[in-house]
Structure 1
Amino acid sequence: MRFFCGITIYHPSDSDIVYISELSRVFEQVIVFDNTEGCISNLNKTILDDSNVLILSNGKNDGLSFAFNEICFYFYNGLDEVRNSYVCIFDQDSRIPQLSIKNLMSVISRQKHNDVAIYAPRVAYGDSIIDCKPEVTEAEWVISSGSFLNLELFKDIGPFDENYFIDRLDYDYCYEARKQGFKVKVIESTVLRQKLGEPKALFGIEYSEHNSIRNYYMARNRVYFYLKNKEHFSFLYLRIAISSLKQLVKVIIFDSEKMKKVQYILKGSWDGMNARMGKLITEVV
Structure 2
Amino acid sequence: MTTQFENRSKKPGSCCSIVVTFNPNIETLLNLVRRIDEGTDLVLIDNNSANLNEFRLSVESLPRCKLFFCRETNLGLASALNIGIKWCIECGYKFTFLFDQDSRLEELFFDNMVEAYLEIEREQEQKIAALGPRIINPKNFKRTRFKSFDRVFGANDQSIGKQNTYFHADFIITSGSLLRLEYLSDIGLMKESYFIDNVDLEWCFRARKLGFKVIGTDSAHLLHAIGEKTNSFLVSSGIIFHHTPDRIYYSSRNRVHLWLVDYAPVGWKVRDIFRFVLKTVFLLVFSRERIAYGRNILKGLRAVKEIK
TM-score range, shorter chain: 0.7 to 0.9
Q: Give the CA deviation at 1:63.
A: 0.6
Equivalent position of 2:129 in the other structure: 117
Q: Which structure 2 residue ranges, 5 or more long, are not aligned? A: 1-12, 145-162
Name the SS for the 2:39 alignment partner: coil
Matched, 1:51 2:63: yes
CA shift digits 1:207-237 (9 cap, x unpaired): 653210111111011122233x148777xx9
Shift of 1:256: 3.2
- After superposition, residues 52-67 of structure 1 pair within 5 angstroms as 52-53=64-65, 54-67=67-80
Give 2:232's match in structure 1, choosing from 181, 201, 212: 201
Aligned to 2:4: none
Q: Which residue of 2 aligns with 1:247?
A: 279
Pair 1:232–1:103, CA change in 2 (3 A): closer
What amino acid sits opposite 1:216 in the alignment?
Answer: Y
Q: Secondary structure at the match of 2:230?
A: strand
Tell me by how many angstroms 1:24 deviates: 1.1
Corresponding residue for residue 275 of structure 1: 306
State whether structure 2 residue 258 is matched by structure 1 residue 225.
yes
Aligned partners of 1:86, 1:40: CA distance in 2, in Å? 27
Letter in 2 for 1:158: G
Q: 1:216 aligns with which of 220, 231, 249?
A: 249
In the superposition, the TM-score normalised over structure 1's length comes to 0.83
Contact between 1:123 and 1:194, CA under 8 Å: does it hold in 2?
Answer: yes
Q: What 5-or-longer segments of structure 1 have no aligned partner? A: 278-285
Residue identity in the other structure for 1:210: H
Structure 2 contact 205–263 (Cα < 8 Å) conserved: no
Distance, in Å, in 1 between the alignment partners of 2:209 and 2:112 is 29
Alignment deviations for residues 54-104 of structure 1 (CA, whole Å, 9 cap, x no partner): 20122211111011111111111221xx5xx21000111222224233322
1:11–1:41 contact (8 Å) kept in structure 2: no
What amino acid does structure 2 have at the position aligned with 1:136? Y
Letter in 2 for 1:267: K
How far apart are 1:144 and its partner, in Å?
0.8
* Pairing partner for 2:44 from 23, 32, 35: 32
- The 1:158/1:204 distance shift into structure 2, 3 A limit, reads closer
Q: What is the one-letter code of the residue matched to 1:222?
A: R
Change (3 A) 1:131 1:222: closer
Residue 160 of structure 1 and its aligned partner are, at CA, apart by: 0.5
- Aligned residue in 1 for 2:22: 10
Structure 1 counterpart of 2:9: none
What's the C-alpha RMSD, in Å, of the aligned pairs? 3.2
> What corresponds to 2:158 in structure 1?
none
**3-state secondary structure, aligned to 1:163:** helix
How many Å separate the matches in 2 of 1:271 and 1:146? 30
Matched to 1:200, the amino acid is N
Bigger shift: residues 199-208 or 1-10: 199-208
Identical residues among aligned pairs (%):
24
Deviation string 1:122-161 (CA, Å, 9 cap, x unpaired) is 1233433457985111201010111001111012100101
Structure 2 equivalent of residue 283 of structure 1:
none
What does 1:142-181 correspond to in 2, within 5 Å? 142-181=172-211
- Residue 183 of structure 1 aligns with which residue? 213
Kindly indicate whether the alpha-carbon contact (under 8 Å) linking 1:217 and 1:268 is maintained by their aligned counterparts in 2: yes
Distance 1:124 1:68 in 2: 23
In structure 1, give the amino acid aligned to 2:96. Answer: V
Q: Is the 8 A contact 1:160 1:169 kept in 2?
A: yes
The two structures have a TM-score, normalised by structure 2, of 0.77
Answer yes or no: is the 8 Å Cα contact 2:106–2:221 preserved in 1.
no
Contact map agreement 2:32 2:103 (CA 8 A) in 1: no
> What per-residue deviation string (whole Å, max 9, x for no partner) do you get for residues 174-211 of structure 1?
01100100000001232222222213135997565321
Task: Classify the secondary structure of the residue corresponding to 2:194.
Answer: coil
